Structure 1
Amino acid sequence: MTDLHRRRALGAGLAAAGQFLLAAPARARAPVTVFAAASLQNALNDVGAAYTRGTGQPVRFSYAASSAIARQIEQGAPADLFVSADREWMDYVAHRGLIQPASRRDLLAGRLVLIAPARSKVQLAIRPGMPLARTLGRGRLAMAAPDVPAGRYGRAALTRLGVWKSVEGRIAPAENVRSALQFVARGEAPLGIVYETDAKLDRRVRIVSVFPPSSHPPIVYPAALTSRGARNRAAGGFLAYLSGPEATAVFRRYGFSVTPSR
């Protein structure tokens, strides 16, 4: 091959390579991975979708009871951001050095309610000494397990109201608050204790009454970057977005309150 032919072949090769690079799609962004309490699923899915539309940054979610998530993070689960349904499980991971302390913030607040199937005629005012056991009849009270925030709030409320001992042997335990909601929605339990935001999502249930805030610890949803997420600039951007006006509007639409400490 002559020098002229070699130069022509080299030029053609470089041109083809250049066209390939121009035609190749931009490298996809790595998603931000968020581990969050099950009660946030609908709201966070909407927030994440809006964020991705506006920024091009994908966000993926894993939902479960806060207790289960905290233990998963402890075992090395690849979470960039943790949103808990209470402060205790956020404290759990914080004490183990698994979050970035400076990133922690209280995002949202909620309320605890007593629910019944939509067709149920049961009426019960929540007050000290209320006849909860009698109202259950032969049924059970659906509640999240005691290590789950919703279950802990529920037990605290019933204890404060002086009725826990009358029903503690008649609990239908659920792995998380959404599962407790399903027990009632399917008619498997005549009453259940869930978050107000969950109850409003399912037409198969109705709210019987709201627990007084003084009957249980404040229902607060803290969020923080994990130690892994602290090194991920995209994760920090999504956490900041959760405190912004667009996300706040979505959370309020689902019935959450915005915490003053935000």
Structure 2
Amino acid sequence: MRLFLILLIGLVSLTACSNDPNDSFIKSTEETHLLLAATSSMSHVLPDVIEAFEEENPYITITVDYGPSGELAQQIQQGAPVDLFISGNQEWMDMLADQSMIVADSRTNFATNQLVFAGTAGEDVSISSLEALQQGTFDKIVLGQPETSPVGTYAKQALQSANLWEPLSDSFLYAKDLAQVVTFIESGKVDAGFVYYSDVIETDRVEMIFPVDSELHNSIEFPAAITTISTNHADSNRFITYLKSDEAATILEEHGFNRE
């Protein structure tokens, strides 16, 4: 009987300490706090997604740190105590995966978006393609830093594919991240810039001029994953699973994203 009790206690201890993301059936009975590092392009939609998730999981609280995907990935690389990471592209998630800094089985794509060329609301602009930018209609075009901001990376890819990156380079103004791009357009400090469709529908101060041909750039996908630094893989995996749910998809679509 004593041996049986020792084995039973040991099994319970191992189960409670498991970091396997597939152990999502293990439900914590204590308050859990998770830190999520997320691309700034999700700053409008994630609060609603998290609120709905926390209503279903009242013992879990999620705090979000928004920023350019590249900077967030580098912070995780340097040991930031992050449980979950949502990137605005695959490149930065790949970097962390190559360094074994995310739980491979937890990685999932849960949303997509559309790159658009947009300007300050109320301006009368009648162009419909990247090629028309060569007409010199815009003196200042803002885009995110291609090195760290995915929306800037996609914009650069599209412009390079259209052979416009060099010809228009004198017109470019670089912003730290997507949020700053939107702010510049809203304020009228620039003539136009590259944002996502989801940004246009979140403000009445920005209008889409034309959608960018999606074949000119990599697919705009939003991957999420659990970091290997996280000490709570089970509850982190609950959130990953929720991102793929019908409830989350409805919220994402309301904010201009598409379900993966």
Counterpart CA distance in 2 for 1:133 and 1:195 is 23
CA distance in 2, matches of 1:232, 1:212: 38
| Structure 2 contact 36–83 (Cα < 8 Å) conserved | yes
% identity of equivalent residues:
27
Q: State the partner residue of 1:70.
A: 73
Higher relative contact order (CA 8 A, sep 6+): 2
**Are 1:47 and 2:55 counterparts?**
no
Q: Which residue of 1 aligns with 2:227?
A: 226
Residue pair 1:145, 1:175 contacting (<8 A) in 2 also? yes
Kindly tell me the number of residue pairs found equivalent between the two proteins.
230
After TM superposition, give the deviation of residue 182 of structure 1 in Å. Answer: 0.8
User: Are the counterparts in 1 of residues 79 and 229 from structure 2 also a CA contact under 8 Å?
Assistant: no
Q: Which residue does 1:149 correspond to in 2?
A: 150
Q: CA deviation at 1:169?
A: 2.0
Alignment of 1:130-169 (within 5 A): 130-132=132-134, 134-136=136-138, 139-147=139-147, 148-169=149-170
Q: Secondary structure at the match of 2:146?
A: coil
**Is contact 1:160-1:215 (8 Å) kept?**
yes
1:188 equivalent to 2:189? Answer yes
Question: Which secondary structure state, in structure 1, belongs to the residue aligned with residue 153 of structure 2?
Answer: helix
How much has 1:61 moved relative to structure 2? Answer: 0.7
Q: Could you report, residue by residue, the CA deviation over 1:126-177 in whole angstroms, capped at 9, with x for unpaired residues?
A: 15x32346011xx311100011211110011111112221211221100111
- Residue 59 (structure 1) aligns with: 62
**Is the Cα contact below 8 Å between 1:117 and 1:187 reproduced in 2?**
yes
Structure 1 stretches of at least 4 aligned residues deviating more than 2 Å after TM superposition: 129-133, 228-232
Higher normalized helix content (fraction of residues): 1
Partners of 1:100 and 1:230 within 8 A in 2: no
What is aligned with 2:173?
172
Does the Cα contact within 8 Å between 1:37 and 1:66 map onto a contact in 2? Answer: yes
Gaps of 5+ in 2: 1-28
Distance 2:105 2:87 in 1: 16
TM-score normalized by the length of structure 2? 0.85
Tell which structure's C-alpha radius of gyration is larger. 1
